[in-house]
Structure 1
């Protein structure tokens, strides 16, 4: 941790005296700038043209979102994708990251392809390419078909691997002639915790005392089982793509992880060890097998027999199963050593790590989180995991408006947030990190998985009171467009520097 601190202090000293002189031309040739969304969060048309429910439809219709909202309409991109692509083109995006809804393309989870779903994604991809925008496609982004969940408990069954691989094959076969960047799975290192440990998100499985009011489950075992099957499904899809499609389609394939970074809550050695351990649990859970072919030793020793085993054949298939690694990065967390957790007879993910996590929640207008955690994460990947090619697929600022229905253009705090992160990203690349793209979350206001319609991340706002879900450009959209079209990063009070590298 001390070495990372020293590294970042040196990095800060290397900032250009006039930070506003930084332009997109300072980034490596071929570097990709984009923005993103995901299917359930933006498409709407939840019951149209043959689409069937996902576990997220079931979840939101049971009233579990903070504001009781659903993704039934969301930003209604299903009906307005041409307008949105035009806005992307005008903004100057190189790429758009989106996901394919499994229950729209194959409504029953396996079997027949929905022709209307196939038509929609073909049209969206063609429209993007017509406007010179790269499609970056996530195959599975949380919205697991409810039919398969009902049939065999979804990710808890090894049957998921075969069904997912068949679905991925349909995507490669249908769209791979035009899609050159594939992501197999989005954030498996948090879907498993929220869905199978604390039960806050679908399919809402957990066990007492780690979660309440769940639909069944075992927090001590199920997160590890679900993660194991997601890892094997990822490796299966990568193997299929490389063996059957990659030579002719000439694309790239990877996985996207949630890239939170954990700092010690205090300057004690116990909390420093807890932060290191939590980074191994959170990032290493998938990075370690992807690079070294097995789960991290600290997880093996602490989870014990509850940790699934990778066979020799599985280890070979998993190791190296990526052309790039995507990371969704948001403000850091604080880790405190939990001395009592490891003595409990029943343990979950956080108890196994013997860590109490204090999320940084003070993300309000007027306060901008220091972006140093992104630099530390990238340095960690460089030192521990061989400096893999990285795409930052999500990074953004969510505000909670005082009057949700009011259209507000002024979001300079979002522009400041993005500028600060781009400066740190530039410095990390200059220091040798192999980062190849940066995507703002989100292009539009979307249905947020943790916040419903309460918190807004969009460069473009959505008038949710309008039947047509009217789009409007916030100041941050104009700021990002200016940068993408050759402008300098404007000086918007980069207050994060006052935090140093803490």
Structure 2
């Protein structure tokens, strides 16, 4: 459970109970199929999974750490559904502290889904906690799950796009990074465990802070849906649907700060007050972000905009250039005042050019998404 880190067994017992509760619930719904559910129903359990890659390329220990992290984070929940038991590496490292399924429970859990469902947000580079490049000593990891997994997962995947501060200096999205290829790798990892199962992508989105002109969110959805397209067209994986998180900004993770919505919501200082309040007509206004407009066009045309990177470069450069302490500005501050002015002129000229190119290329047409049907 969140906040409980000192037990070597509790987290495993809770997860075991969740899986069994799910399996018995599915069994009961199937018994009531003719009364409660239509013949076209689909049941399953939504699993959240990040992607882990080796920190050092071609390093065997890091490759093992990455696969171990995938099994502890994702396989822990997925393999009981597809194979009837927890991953072998968990059995090896956790030992008798890891609960066991009875034969009856194995039979129930193993068939407790009609479709696989996946939430995904980011990827990390990992190494073993005891490696020479680890930033996280094994002794600093939480007793139980953390030490059993035994990896340092604090390294940002090379090529990732970081969550940025908003115009007010807030950094609610500090821990969110975007690495689109990791999405495809996660889908492939899930698919490999049951190639016959269809996959429903249930949650995927970008933490955008307090920004209405959130162009990096637009880049996120363009880039990640491109990975979904690759999964279907190139990898022949039966992905049947994709769901963006989320339609509106909402209360999550203890605050209204992290904003994932396709529609910006004008929260006020009174929003969420324990005393309650009656919103004014101007409160809680919903404003369509660039991503909402893009999704509308995607839904109506069935075509992906081919301009992903140009928009992203323009958006990130512009945001960096106008923020205090940004890499662009910080670098130019080390020069003379004359060089500072020249550097800023170059930055804004480059940004302006990128924006013009983005606008022009966006109007040149769209690339059709290969269509597929589900019988």
Q: Secondary structure of 2:244's partner? A: strand
1:497 Cα deviation after fit: 12
Equivalent of 1:363, from 152, 156, 163?
Answer: 163
Q: How many residues align?
A: 279
Contact 2:205 2:246 in 1 (8 A): yes
Deviation track 1:257-282 (CA, whole Å, cap 9, x = no partner) reads: 11211111222221111001110111
Contact 1:264 1:275 in 2 (8 A): yes
CA distance in 2, matches of 1:440, 1:243: 32
- Corresponding residue for residue 63 of structure 1: none
Segments of structure 1 that go 5 or more residues without pairing to the other structure are 1-191, 200-204, 208-217, 402-407
1:365 Cα deviation after fit: 7.3
Equivalent of 2:239, from 435, 450, 473?
Answer: 435
Larger radius of gyration: 2
Moved over 4 A (4+): 340-346, 365-368, 495-498
CA distance in 1, matches of 2:312, 2:286: 34
Deviation track 1:2-54 (CA, whole Å, cap 9, x = no partner) reads: xxxxxxxxxxxxxxxxxxxxxxxxxxxxxxxxxxxxxxxxxxxxxxxxxxxxx
Q: Secondary structure of 2:46's partner? A: strand
- Corresponding residue for residue 270 of structure 1: 61
1:410 Cα deviation after fit: 1.3
What TM-score does the superposition give when structure 1 sets the normalisation length?
0.52
Residues 415 and 358 (structure 1), Cα distance of their counterparts in 2 relative to 1, 3 Å cut: same
Residues 289 and 497 (structure 1), Cα distance of their counterparts in 2 relative to 1, 3 Å cut: farther
Contact 2:163 2:177 in 1 (8 A): yes
In the alignment, structure 1 residue 379 sits paired with structure 2 residue 188: yes
Contact 1:381 1:388 in 2 (8 A): no
In the alignment, structure 1 residue 252 sits paired with structure 2 residue 42: yes
1:399 Cα deviation after fit: 1.7
CA distance in 2, matches of 1:495, 1:316: 51
- Corresponding residue for residue 205 of structure 2: 396
Contact 2:27 2:108 in 1 (8 A): yes
Equivalent of 1:233, from 10, 18, 21?
Answer: 21
CA distance in 1, matches of 2:312, 2:237: 21
In the alignment, structure 1 residue 337 sits paired with structure 2 residue 128: yes
1:344 Cα deviation after fit: 9.6
CA distance in 2, matches of 1:346, 1:412: 38
Contact 2:207 2:258 in 1 (8 A): yes
Equivalent of 2:115, from 294, 313, 324?
Answer: 324
CA distance in 2, matches of 1:345, 1:327: 27
Which is bigger in relative contact order (C-alpha 8 A, separation at least 6)?
1
Contact 2:222 2:308 in 1 (8 A): no
Q: Secondary structure of 1:400's partner? A: coil
CA distance in 2, matches of 1:371, 1:440: 14
Residues 483 and 343 (structure 1), Cα distance of their counterparts in 2 relative to 1, 3 Å cut: closer
Contact 1:371 1:496 in 2 (8 A): no
In the alignment, structure 1 residue 351 sits paired with structure 2 residue 139: no
CA distance in 1, matches of 2:94, 2:177: 37
Contact 2:44 2:117 in 1 (8 A): yes
In the alignment, structure 1 residue 206 sits paired with structure 2 residue 5: yes
Q: Secondary structure of 1:253's partner? A: coil
- Corresponding residue for residue 82 of structure 1: none
